Amino acid sequence: MPVVTYRDALTQALREELQRDDRVFLMGEEVAQYNGAYKVSKGLLDEFGPMRIVDTPITELGFAGVGVGAAMVGLRPIVEFMTWNFALLALDQVVNAAAKMMYMSGGQYNMPMVFRGPNGAALQLSAQHSQAWESWLAHIPGLKVCTPGTPADAKGLLKAAIRDDNPVVFLEGEMLYNTKGEVPGGEHIVPIGVAELKREGDHCSIITHGKMVLVGMKIADDLAKEGITLDVVDLRTVRPMDVEAIARSVQKTNRAVVLEEGWEICGVGAQVVDFIQRECFDDLDAPVLRVHQEDVPMPYAKNLERAAKPDAAKAIAAVRKVLYLD
């Protein structure tokens, strides 16, 4: 199987879906002539032309609204935000227009569109540009929220998102664009709402998504050397959430650590813990622990940023704690 970057996997998905369905088009800041701020749309302007690869002004609320209107009249827009930190300006269109349109029109309007862009902290981009938004967006009925952590899932989920008749929020990892992995060529679809067991073990479940999937797999490999084996459940989609996969794993291991990039309070992990306490109460041998960003705006200073982010060492400490090993 070809090994490609997360970035190229996304480009593959865009190209294949643009070829497959001429109602699909991409718009956003710098997506066309500049090939995308992160080069995800590289070469697409040349291939599909300016009617389908559309540069927009720096007006997030405006072009998100154009996308909603285009979807209402039967096109399948992909709206790229340069980062989800900028998409805050467009949330009225995402939350109050796209997510509500089918419901409030009594089913007259589908909303087959994708809002995509990089999410979460990169390196030293400071407080305003280092935020993971999935818990905000997953809160909204009417939206689907995808958080691929690997190139294969990035491709498969983006293709599924573009073909979905509902508005899909697609959160890419800025630090993941250069990561590599095996990606099936051609028709590769990852169904929305289905988790994947990225590592299989007996002693503790790591429930995670997005960028933290790589951390989960790393600590599983590290701890395996000590004889501690982990289930790493990659949610892949945080809404809808694959509750059965979580329950299956925790019922097997009796312990769980929920690992996410964002903040603690009302985070995705809080929802996961709620599912676990309801579905697995009699299976738990220890309180479920969460590993997440510290409850502060992301510091700019390198050392403080490192201390604020969730990482492998913090996740290992949590695993040891739920195993009563520390």
Partner 1 sequence: MATKVVMEALSPTMEEGRLVKWVKNEGDAVKTGDVIAEVETDKAVMELVARADGVLRKRLANEGDASPVGTLLAVIAGADENIDALIGGSAPAAAPAQAQAGGDTAAKAPANQAVAETAETAGQSPAPSAPEQSQGEASTPPQTGSGGSEKGAGSAPPPAGRLTPPRPQRPPAPKGNGARPGAASAKPGERQRSSPLARRLASERGIELGGVQGSGPGGRIVKRDIENAKSKGGAARSAAAERLASEGDFKDIPLTQIRKTIARRLAESNGPVPTFFLTAELDVTRAAEMRTQLAEMGDEYKASFNDIIIKAVALALSEHPEVNAHWLDDKIRQFNRIHVAMAVAVEDGLITPVLFDADRLQLWEISARARELAGRARERKLTPEEYTGGTFTVSNLGMFGIDQFTAIINPPEAGILAVGGVEEKPVVVDGRVEVRQRMRVTMSCDHRAIDGATGAKFLQTLRRYIENPLALVI
In the complex, the residues that contact partner 1 under the rule CB under 8 A are 202-203, 226-228, 254, 257, 264-265, 281-287, 289-292, 294-296, 307-308, 310-311, 314-318, 320-321, 323-325
Taking the least distance from each CB to partner 1, the nearer of 112 and 310 is 310
236 and 147 Cβ atoms separated by less than 8 Å: yes
How far is it, in rounded angstroms, from Cα 247 to Cα 105? 36
Taking the least distance from each CB to partner 1, the nearer of 68 and 206 is 206
Q: Which of 60, 174, 260, 305 is flagged as catalytic?
A: 60
Strands (E), the chain: 3-5, 24-28, 53-55, 76-80, 114-119, 144-146, 168-173, 180-182, 196-199, 204-208, 230-234, 237-239, 256-263, 289-293
Count of alpha carbons within 13 Å of 198, Cβ hemisphere only?
26
In the three-class reduction of DSSP (H, G, I as helix; E, B as strand; rest coil), residue 267 is classed as coil
What size, in residues, is the chain? 326
Residue 139 annotated in active site: no
Kindly state the greatest CA–CA separation across the chain. 60
How far is it, in rounded angstroms, from Cα 217 to Cα 34? 35
Phi, psi dihedrals of residue 88, rounded to the nearest 5°:
-55, -35
Residue 60 annotated in active site: yes
Q: Which of 129, 139, 264, 294 is flagged as catalytic?
A: 129
Taking the least distance from each CB to partner 1, the nearer of 91 and 228 is 228
Residue 268 C-beta: closest distance to partner 1, Å: 14
Residue 257 C-beta: closest distance to partner 1, Å: 8
61 and 112 Cβ atoms separated by less than 8 Å: no
Q: Annotate 35-48 with DSSP letters as a single string.
A: --TTSTTTTHHHHH
Expressed in angstroms, the distance from the first to the final Cα of the chain is 41
Tokens of 68: 């909603």
Residue 313 C-beta: closest distance to partner 1, Å: 8
- Of 49, 260, 252, give the one whose Cα is nearest residue 147: 260
Residue 119 C-beta: closest distance to partner 1, Å: 20
Residue 232 C-beta: closest distance to partner 1, Å: 17
Tokens of 63: 């072009």
Taking the least distance from each CB to partner 1, the nearer of 236 and 292 is 292
How far is it, in rounded angstroms, from Cα 72 to Cα 110? 7
Residue 323 C-beta: closest distance to partner 1, Å: 7
Q: Which active-site residues does the annotation give? A: 60, 129
